[in-house]
Amino acid sequence: MLYSALINVMVKAARRAGRNLKRDLGEIEHLQVSLKGPANFVSKADKRAEEMLYEDLAKARPGYGFIGEEGGTREGADKTHAWIVDPLDGTTNFLHGIPQFAISIGLAREGTVIAGVIYNPANDELYIAERGKGAFLNDQRLRVAGRRRLDECVVACGLPHIGRGDHQLALKEMAALQNKVAGFRRFGAASLDLAFVAAGRIDGYWERNLSPWDIAAGQIMVREAGGTISDIGGRDDALKTGHVVCGNEFVHGELVKILGPLG
Ligand code: IPD
Ligand code: CA
Ligand code: CA
Ligand code: CA
């Protein structure tokens, strides 16, 4: 498949950092792991991946801003463009040797995400999306699942870390949905949850208290695959609030109807 110059830059950066993460995965015991808060791990692999991504992206597009989970915000001369990067989404999975983690790169122009790349180096699955041009998994065009009965749907969620978010609310949400859907999943990497919705592997996903780097690339992936994504009240500001719900138009609507009033 012929990528645009922009997607090429993002894919190259993701693949290089991904090769390194894969190497690190084989040597988890040598990675210095520290805690940012209770059950909130960060390792040398996260930090090294972010440095590599910054290096490649800044070299290809000098002046763009850079918002990364581990290094904070780096301003650029170009105030209209910013990379929004999670160098390792799913750190807890990674550190347990669970091959469900990804590099997530979004590019925002004047606050709107115009391109996204999500790459899982463990299984070499590469998701790309560009505004108006569709979403793809390893060159296959993506389309969200078409189910229109909640009791046939598999829905994923995220749960808050120890000491963060509203645990009671998370349980209330699951209780409200558990006898209405065909199945729940908790995979542990928000960017891939969104990519799975785009790929039609799961029908819906919701999570609260995410950060822009968890959502940016996945949001455009879902939209370009024909899905609907919003905050849990149904407003188009998931990226700002960090609360996200998505699915096809029907599933999204049902989830907003059930979850919206709880929060
Ligand atoms: C986390 C993962 C997880 C989600 C957390 C995120 P990290 O990202 O996406 O699925 O539930 O809220 O913080 O810290 O592994 O990059
Ligand atoms: Ca983290
Ligand atoms: Ca993350
Ligand atoms: Ca991360």
> Which residues belong to CATH 3.30.540.10 in the chain?
5-141
Torsion of CA 55, 140, 97, 45, to 10 degrees: 0
Query: What is the number of the ligand closest to the CA of 95?
Result: 1
Query: What is the number of the ligand closest to the CA of 92?
Result: 1
Average of pLDDT values for 19-44? Answer: 89
Q: Please write the tens of the pLDDT for every residue from 219-259.
A: 999 999 999 999 999 999 999 999 999 999 999 999 999 99
Q: Is 88 annotated as a binding residue?
A: yes
Cβ contact 198:142 at 8 Å:
yes
Give the ipTM of the model, two decimals please.
0.98
According to the model, what pLDDT value does residue 198 have?
A: 99
Q: Please write the tens of the pLDDT for every residue from 185-223.
A: 999 999 999 999 999 999 999 999 999 999 999 999 999
According to the model, what pLDDT value does residue 262 have?
A: 96
> Which residues belong to CATH 3.40.190.80 in the chain?
150-262
The distance from CA 167 to its chain's CA centroid, rounded to whole angstroms, is 21
Atom of ligand 1 nearest to the CA of 91: 15
Looking at residue 61, its amino acid is R
> What residues flank ligand 1, with Cβ below 6 Å?
69, 86, 89-92, 158, 188-190, 207, 210, 214
Q: For a pocket test of ligand 1, which of 185, 214, 215, 241 has the largest count of ligand atoms closer than 8 A to its C-beta?
A: 214
Q: Categorize the per-residue pLDDT at 163 as very low, low, confident or very high, splitting at 50, 70 and 90.
A: confident
Q: Please write the tens of the pLDDT for every residue from 53-99.
A: 999 999 999 999 999 999 879 999 999 999 999 999 999 999 999 99
**CATH class given for the domain over 150-262:** alpha beta
According to the model, what pLDDT value does residue 109 have?
A: 97
Q: Which of 96-110, 135-149, 150-164 has the lowest mean pLDDT?
A: 150-164
Residue 146: count other Cβ atoms within 10 Å of its Cβ. 11
The distance from CA 24 to its chain's CA centroid, rounded to whole angstroms, is 21
According to the model, what pLDDT value does residue 259 have?
A: 98
User: 5-141, what's its fold?
Assistant: Fructose-1,6-Bisphosphatase; Chain A, domain 1 (3.30.540)
**Closest Cα to atom 12 of ligand 1:** 210
